[in-house]
Amino acid sequence: MPEADPRDLEAVPNVAGVYVVWPRGGTPHLGRTGVLRRRLGRLVRIFGPEAVEKVEYYPTGSGFESAVALYRLARRYRRDDYRKFLRLRIPPFLKLNLTNPYPRCYLTRRLGRDRAVYFGPFTTRASAERFQSGFLDLFQLRRCREEIRPDPAHPGCIYGEMNMCLRPCQGRSTEEQYRAEAGRVADFLATQGASLVKQLEVERDQSSTALEFEQAAKWHKRLDKAREALKLNDELARDVDRLYGVVVQKSVEPAAVELWFLYQGYLQGRKRFAVAAEVSQPVSLDQRLRELIGTLEFKPRSPRERAESLGLLVRWWSSSWKTGELLLFDGLDRIPYRRLVRAISRTM
């Protein structure tokens, strides 16, 4: 970060950015602003020019870049309370815990490295609960929290009576049968419902071909229910291990954009992409993007950083100051380069 003389801030640009003011003998003061020079001048007057040891600043081209830069500064200089300082909330996720012999799907705000399917992020807890309730009606997975010990004398629950659970608590299904149903749920989440929709379409068409129209109508009704459940899903939510994307933001540099890639839900470092190519080597934007992405090294970090970076993404996505664009895709080998080129053109 560039430094500025607290007694002469004329070199500081009047643009948006983040800053660190270092009082002598005190803790650093962090913040973000839409006008750097004016905010720093006000802070220096409050502290007193002689009481400020140094001033550092970082110009940014967008609110998203400011949020990410401030998050990284807060992690460095306010390790004990950076979440509280940033008012950063971890978004809700759905977790299918596959380490349990009888898995269930439940809400959590923690991501781990355990053998589980994490689906999200959701913008609110209410939206996560609506989707959870809607799609679980399509399967026979348990919803209770108790530790399952199969026993025919177990009283069961209303979901078992309604044939919406395989009733492992009463020993009505084997562990293998129950885990097969949990596998169907995992496939549903991993494919964002495509696995179930395809299966129901095949069943409906086969029944129709066999002139079993009553059965075909039942499959069609179930297919409509699956599609209605998928409409309850948040736009950002998907299997976190398959969460790939790129955030396109305006750069503080002219004729350039800033790109933040998402790799399995991990927000990577910023990459600046100059739109104008060298005159001596005219290359299409599509080709230059392919060359840039081919040089990148994508690295997972800790589950905590993963959850926090997705929290930043949700905050930007649902904010009133959202600018730029977000493109989501299914993998690094399936990047929609044409859409990315158009997004860059619109962001400039």
Q: How many helices, marked H, and strands, marked E, lie in the chain? A: 11, 12
- Please say if the pLDDT value at position 277 is more than 70: no
Q: Is the Cβ–Cβ distance between 58 and 69 less than 8 Å?
A: yes
Residue 280: per-residue pLDDT: 53
Residue 44 CA: distances (Å) to CA of 31, 53, 85, 150, 165: 13, 10, 21, 68, 64
- Please say if the pLDDT value at position 254 is more than 50: yes
- Partners of 258 in the β-ladder: 249, 272
Over residues 125-182, the pLDDT tens digits come to 999 999 999 999 999 999 999 999 999 999 999 999 899 999 999 999 999 999 999 9
Percentage of the residues of the chain whose pLDDT score is greater than 70: 98
Instruction: Compute the average pLDDT of residues 228-242.
Output: 95
Instruction: Compute the average pLDDT of residues 82-101.
Output: 95
Residue 2: per-residue pLDDT: 85
Instruction: Compute the average pLDDT of residues 301-314.
Output: 95
Q: Please name which of 324, 231, 305 lies closest in space to residue 264, comparing C-alpha atoms.
A: 305
- Please say if the pLDDT value at position 7 is more than 90: no
Q: Please name which of 241, 229, 238 lies closest in space to residue 197, comparing C-alpha atoms.
A: 229
Residue 67: per-residue pLDDT: 96
Whole-prediction pTM? 0.90
Residue 348: per-residue pLDDT: 82
Architecture of domain 3-86: 3-Layer(aba) Sandwich (3.40)
Residue 100 CA: distances (Å) to CA of 85, 140, 152, 158, 195: 37, 16, 20, 22, 23
Write down the domain spans for the chain: 3-86, 90-191, 193-226, 243-347
Instruction: Compute the average pLDDT of residues 81-96.
Output: 96
Instruction: Compute the average pLDDT of residues 320-331.
Output: 94
Residue 21: per-residue pLDDT: 94
Residue 43: per-residue pLDDT: 93
- Please say if the pLDDT value at position 193 is more than 60: yes
Residue 191: per-residue pLDDT: 94
Residue 300: per-residue pLDDT: 82
Tokens 């053998």 belong to which residue?
Answer: 115
Judged by phi (left if over 0) then psi (alpha if -120 to 50, else beta), residue 166 lies in alpha
Q: What is the dihedral of CA 328, 276, 72, 90, to 10 degrees?
A: -20
Percentage of the residues of the chain whose pLDDT score is greater than 90: 82
User: In this structure, what are the phi and psi dihedrals at residue 142, rounded to the nearest 5 degrees?
Assistant: -65, 155
Residue 235: per-residue pLDDT: 92
Q: Is 205 helix (H, G, I), strand (E, B) or coil?
A: helix
Q: Peptide bond before 121: cis, by omega within 30 degrees of 0?
A: yes
Instruction: Compute the average pLDDT of residues 22-39.
Output: 92
Tokens 């299918």 belong to which residue?
Answer: 96
Instruction: Compute the average pLDDT of residues 57-78.
Output: 95
Instruction: Compute the average pLDDT of residues 248-265.
Output: 94
Residue 279: per-residue pLDDT: 47
Sign of torsion, CA 298 302 303 304?
negative
Report the alpha-carbon distance of residue 185 to residue 196 in Å, rounded.
9
Instruction: Compute the average pLDDT of residues 112-126.
Output: 94
Residue 340 CA: distances (Å) to CA of 62, 143, 233, 267, 328: 18, 41, 24, 17, 10
Report the alpha-carbon distance of residue 245 to residue 260 in Å, rounded.
8
- Partners of 335 in the β-ladder: none
- Please say if the pLDDT value at position 290 is more than 80: yes
State CA 42 to chain mean position distance: 36
Q: What is the DSSP letter of 173?
A: S
Q: Chain-wide mean pLDDT for the chain? A: 92
Q: pLDDT-derived band of residue 6, with 50, 70 and 90 as boundaries?
A: confident
Residue 283: per-residue pLDDT: 66
Residue 166: per-residue pLDDT: 94
Sign of torsion, CA 198 204 205 206?
positive
Residue 25: per-residue pLDDT: 82
